[in-house]
Amino acid sequence: MVNAKIKHDCKIELNGVDLRATPARVALMKLLETTDKPLDVQTMIDYLNQQEVKTDPATVFRIVNLFKEKGLLNLIQLNEGKFRYELTSKPHHHHFVCEQCGAIQDISDFSIKAVEDAIQEKRQIKIKSHSLEFFGMCKNCLK
Amino acid sequence: MVNAKIKHDCKIELNGVDLRATPARVALMKLLETTDKPLDVQTMIDYLNQQEVKTDPATVFRIVNLFKEKGLLNLIQLNEGKFRYELTSKPHHHHFVCEQCGAIQDISDFSIKAVEDAIQEKRQIKIKSHSLEFFGMCKNCLK
DNA sequence: ATGGTTGCAAACACTTTGCACATGA
DNA sequence: TCATGTGCAAAGTGTTTGCAACCAT
């Protein structure tokens, strides 16, 4: 019942951006909705294959790219050699990555919108997005 | 003469971080010093091979990683699928990338150090570096 | 029914690694 | 001299693409 409900929600969400609600897409939406840190594609694949939903890397890459085009996902890079993704529906925030243990924390203590507006006007450019990530040592690793 | 002088400088610079001044390394330092935007490795390889200095991708990747370890280079990601590098000796700045034409501008109008300090204290973490990049449309492409 | 979606295999881009040879200090 | 660095080839990731079969609408 719970599953059915969530599936239904995702269906509406997906159809709303002209995408068919296939099992892999619905499962991926569910995963993204219940995860609090940016996911890389390999993690998504592993998760899906652990569930009832067998799928293929090519499919997941395609879904993720589609979701990004449709504006459902933000792309994030944390200086690894790969992309991570987060739902755009989550409140805007930045990240802190511990270089020792790899832990990722959300940073939402402030906004750089004012700065962004100032730069935009001064340079006569249009800023559509930004990425701001911090790197260092987390509380635990500092001990 | 000019070349000899620059070579000499790089030799000191390289030996200063316990690296031998080989032709590829010196040429790469020269390139990095005279370029104002973050370079990807393929661009470095193409440049070196156009010059007198024939070299191999593996070598350039190794040099770049060494330079980074030694603190000579900063790694930058602009949401492409690859790394870019800049000399750490350049004044700290951020970047703006035009999503239409790919142009990269330096953004050094402001600092987020105050913000960084506040986050660091509040969360009891140690922030060692950050990346802040802006994406949008440049002046030209807005026309 | 039919156009969007998938799986599979192959290819591509970027990066790393092993090892024998070469070279800077 | 000899530890360090290089070239070459091979392999390892992450990602994209072509195409026939499949399935959501």
Instruction: Report the C-alpha gap between B113 and B89 in whole angstroms.
Output: 18
In B15-66, which ranges are E strands?
39-40
Q: Which contiguous run of DSSP H or E holds residue A129?
A: strand A126-137
Are B135 and A131 an interchain contact pair (Cβ–Cβ within 8 Å)?
yes
For A124: left if phi > 0, alpha if psi spans -120 to 50, otherwise beta; the answer is left
B interface with A, Cβ–Cβ below 8 Å:
75, 77, 79, 81, 83, 96, 98-99, 105, 107, 109-110, 112, 115-116, 118-120, 122-139, 142
Q: Where are the domains of chain A?
A: 10-87, 94-142
pTM of the complete model? 0.92
Q: Residue A85: its pLDDT value, please?
A: 98
Query: What is the pLDDT of chain A when averaged over all its residues?
Result: 92
Minimum CA–CA partner of A137 in chain B:
B126
Indicate if the pLDDT at residue B85 is higher than 70. yes
Q: What is the pLDDT of residues A106-131, one digit of tens each?
A: 999 888 999 999 999 999 999 999 99
Indicate if the pLDDT at residue B3 is higher than 50. no
| Interacting residues of B57 by C-beta distance below 8 A, sequence separation 6+ | B41, B45
B1 pLDDT band (50/70/90 cuts)? Answer: very low
Both structure tokens of A25: 């897409």
Indicate if the pLDDT at residue A104 is higher than 70. yes
Rg over alpha carbons for chain A, rounded to the nearest Å, is 17
Q: Residue A3: its pLDDT value, please?
A: 40
B8 pLDDT band (50/70/90 cuts)? Answer: low
| CA distances (Å), origin B62, targets A99, A140, B25, B42, B67 | 21, 32, 10, 13, 9
Are A115 and B119 an interchain contact pair (Cβ–Cβ within 8 Å)?
no
Q: What is the pLDDT of residues A25-69, one digit of tens each?
A: 999 999 999 999 999 999 999 999 999 899 999 999 999 999 999
**Three-class DSSP category at A42:** helix
Indicate if the pLDDT at residue A6 is higher than 70. no
| Interacting residues of B103 by C-beta distance below 8 A, sequence separation 6+ | B97, B138, B140
Are A126 and B107 an interchain contact pair (Cβ–Cβ within 8 Å)?
no
A86 pLDDT band (50/70/90 cuts)? Answer: very high
Residues of chain B with Cβ-Cβ distance to A101 below 8 Å are: none
A79: distance to nearest CA of chain B, Å? 7
Question: What fold characterizes domain A10-87?
Answer: Arc Repressor Mutant, subunit A (1.10.10)
| Interacting residues of A49 by C-beta distance below 8 A, sequence separation 6+ | A55
Q: Residue A109: its pLDDT value, please?
A: 81
CATH code for the structural domain at B94-142: 3.30.1490.190
Instruction: Report the C-alpha gap between A142 and A137 in whole angstroms.
Output: 6
Instruction: Report the C-alpha gap between A13 and A11 in whole angstroms.
Output: 5
Amino acid at A26: V
B9 pLDDT band (50/70/90 cuts)? Answer: confident
Residue B2 CB in 7 A reach of strand C: no
Q: What is the pLDDT of residues B89-132, one digit of tens each?
A: 999 999 999 999 999 999 998 889 999 999 999 999 999 999 99
CA of A88 to C1' of D13 (A): 27
Are B110 and A129 an interchain contact pair (Cβ–Cβ within 8 Å)?
no
Q: Residue A142: its pLDDT value, please?
A: 95
Query: What is the pLDDT of chain B when averaged over all its residues?
Result: 92
